[in-house]
Amino acid sequence: MKKRPAFPAQLDLGQDHPAPTPRMAVTRVQSSAQATKGTTALAKPASVTPARPARAKAPAATTVDVAPTGLGLDSAQVRGRMVRKLYEQGIEDAMVLKAMETIERHRFVDSALVNQAYEDTSLPIGLGQTISKPNVVARMLALLRQGRNLHIDGKLGRVLEIGTGCGYQAALLSAMSKEVYSIERLRGLHEKARENLRHLRAGNLHLLFGDGMLGYAQGAPYAGIIAAAGGEAVPDAWIDQLGVGGRLVAPLVTAQGQQALLVLDKTPQGVQRQWLEAVHFVPLKSGVA
Ligand code: SAH
């Protein structure tokens, strides 16, 4: 079994951050060495420089088909196969594929489910919640990056994620964004995500415990907002906190009572909405528990 490094997560209440909102504790996922650097620049507005996401070439075929057998597995080949499938299914964004090839999904699921970590299936993560299947995660991330909100180096600026869950998507976002704020309303999952993410020591990833329906004004304006739970309507706070040129991707209940993906662009002319395919996400709930 691979041993995870025992890194203490830092409570992010240092002088390089504004005071958190009441009931919203911020945890920066990084090492204590990084904590002293204080590199975060909250005052800077999110960049809205348009750039198109790079299209990936077909990932190289993996010749050996190995299934994960435990946490100590050499899982790179299995991830390579997952990424190749995603590409075949139409996910062509090179940065999304690269992140999914790098981030070890098996570290985010319970040990009993490790064997299924790289299958295209959603999995339970505890407290009645689920991690979405890789295809849906990749699709939403690619959509987020197709907005007019990319940095010049191809990365997104500041991103807000609603519903940290086990932290898998937050890890992917941290690899493709300048700064990530991820909010979870269930304390048990917030803590679990902190544990799961520790090995990455991602200094640009901030975990928040609180009600994501309120967004996180201190991090605004955001280049992107992505929700992993489906509500009845887009909370006003999200639209307020989205920067002009920013894009929001969220599952939402339609007029027909089904959930579908909503892409919302905030343009200088106003808000533009596009409804996409049907999805099945856990419900967006208010308050914390
Ligand atoms: N992105 C996650 C998926 C988590 S499932 C992952 O990679 O694991 C959706 C999560 O949204 C659940 O953990 C649920 O508790 C959370 N959630 C629902 N309503 C919320 C709210 N108002 N604020 C923050 N989190 C919320």
Measured CA to CA, the distance from residue 196 to residue 169 in angstroms comes to 12
> Best of 284, 286, 288 to mutate for ligand 1, by most ligand atoms within 8 A of CB?
284
Q: Is the pTM of this model over 0.75?
A: yes
Report the nearest atom of ligand 1 relative to the CA of 132: 3
Measured CA to CA, the distance from residue 145 to residue 24 in angstroms comes to 27
Regarding the beta carbon of 263 and ligand 1, being less than 6 Å apart is answered no
Residue 47 has pLDDT above 50, yes or no: no
Regarding the beta carbon of 168 and ligand 1, being less than 6 Å apart is answered yes
In CATH, the architecture of 25-278 is 3-Layer(aba) Sandwich (3.40)
Encoding tokens for residue 3?
Answer: 């041993």
Residue 33 has pLDDT above 70, yes or no: no
φ, ψ of residue 61 to 5 degrees: the values are: -65, 135
Domain-wise residue ranges, the chain: 25-278
Measured CA to CA, the distance from residue 230 to residue 280 in angstroms comes to 8
Report the nearest atom of ligand 1 relative to the CA of 161: 1
Q: How far is the CA of 30 from the centre of ligand 1 (A)?
A: 22
Alpha carbon nearest to ligand 1 atom 18, residue: 284
Measured CA to CA, the distance from residue 28 to residue 149 in angstroms comes to 24
The pLDDT tens digits for 217-268 are 999 999 999 999 999 999 999 999 999 999 999 999 999 999 999 999 999 9
Residue 94 has pLDDT above 60, yes or no: yes
The verdict on whether 132 is a catalytic residue reads yes
Regarding the beta carbon of 282 and ligand 1, being less than 6 Å apart is answered yes
What average pLDDT does the structure give for the chain? Answer: 83
Residue 166 has pLDDT above 90, yes or no: yes
The pLDDT tens digits for 133-150 are 999 999 999 999 999 887
pLDDT value at residue 149? 80
Closest alpha carbon to 184 in 212, 224, 151: 212
The conformation of residue 256, written as its DSSP 8-state character, comes to: T
Alpha carbon nearest to ligand 1 atom 26, residue: 163
For residue 283, whether the previous peptide bond is cis, meaning omega lies within 30 degrees of 0, is no
Regarding the beta carbon of 165 and ligand 1, being less than 6 Å apart is answered yes
Measured CA to CA, the distance from residue 61 to residue 133 in angstroms comes to 22
Regarding the beta carbon of 183 and ligand 1, being less than 6 Å apart is answered yes
Greater pLDDT, 22 or 74: 74
Encoding tokens for residue 219?
Answer: 């991090």
Q: What's the whole-number mean pLDDT along residues 166-195? A: 98
* Residue 59: band (very low, low, confident or very high) from pLDDT cuts 50, 70, 90: low
The CA-to-CA distance between both ends of the chain, in Å, stands at: 33
* Residue 119: band (very low, low, confident or very high) from pLDDT cuts 50, 70, 90: very high
pLDDT value at residue 74? 72
Encoding tokens for residue 78?
Answer: 């299995």
- Catalytic, out of 47, 75, 122, 132: 132
Contacts of 21 (CB under 8 A, 6+ apart): 210, 214, 216, 217, 218
**Count of C-beta atoms within a 10 Å radius of residue 87:** 18
